[in-house]
Structure 1
């Protein structure tokens, strides 16, 4: 399945946001890159869901965790699908950059 010109442009914008212009600008946008990008976003969503259970910065003793319980529960119950930057960018860069490099070279 070949991507339309607008799909290629949109996919490039997303990948440039995650990986930076220097990397994503040299990638050829194709169906394999699209497939990997979808898997990357799914992984970032799972990571972001898990982040809702992590206490926010502070002294991580039991008293602090106890004070954070309500906030953690509220985030978990909200069902919001916020994506944390650490999941979308740092995690994606580590796990997906090489695979996207290779996929962008296939025809």
Structure 2
């Protein structure tokens, strides 16, 4: 199974991406955030814990707030991946690989 990255084997090393890898990553982030959000929305009421009911409710409220922050982080991460996918694609369109005796070199700014 692949995560969409191809280790660089020539020139400057680094990584190349399979087509669609960033889009799939963004979809996974959005999907996971949506699942967590749905689970948080269907959370049960605080249980009857006798004299500790207020404390239990307070802890559950803090947990729900934290979960909301995690959902927000998934959404922001997915949006950032989508944004950077465009930057990556543009960069890929403006480089040219040139074979030299020393190995493959990347020449930037070629249109």
Give the TM-score normalised by the residue count of structure 1. Answer: 0.32
Larger radius of gyration: 2
Give the TM-score normalised by the residue count of structure 2. Answer: 0.31
Bigger RCO (CA 8 Å, 6+ sep): 1
